[in-house]
């Protein structure tokens, strides 16, 4: 490994180690729950907007 690559790899490894050491289980669970809620809301809104656009186009004829 060249010197700059070695430095980048060790810096990244150290940063990831600190990151994983500071993440707790409740944070992971909260993130998973919020991600699920966000996905459901996004899906529902896309269906709703699709229905509104369809209604709008048929209304204008």
Tell me what the mean pLDDT of segment 30-59 comes to. Answer: 94
Would residue 45 count as lying in a domain?
A: yes
Q: What's the domain range around 41?
A: 24-61
On the 0-12 / 13-18 / 19+ scale of CB atoms within 10 A, 11 is: exposed
3-39 confidence digits (pLDDT tens):
677 788 888 888 888 888 888 888 889 999 999 999 9
Q: Per the domain annotation, does 15 fall within a domain?
A: no
> Does 9 reside within a domain?
no
Q: What is the pTM of this model?
A: 0.58
> Is 8 among the domain residues?
no
Residue 29 within a domain: yes
Residue 3 lies in a domain: no
d(CA 42, CA 35): 10
Within-domain flag for 5: no
| 56 within a domain of the structure (yes/no) | yes
């Amino acid at each position: 490994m060249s010197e700059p690559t070695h430095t980048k790899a060790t810096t990244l490894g150290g940063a990831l180690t600190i990151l994983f050491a500071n993440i707790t289980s409740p944070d992971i669970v909260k993130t998973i729950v919020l991600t699920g809620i966000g996905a459901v809301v996004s899906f529902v809104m896309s269906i709703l907007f699709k229905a509104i656009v369809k209604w709008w186009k048929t209304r204008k004829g």
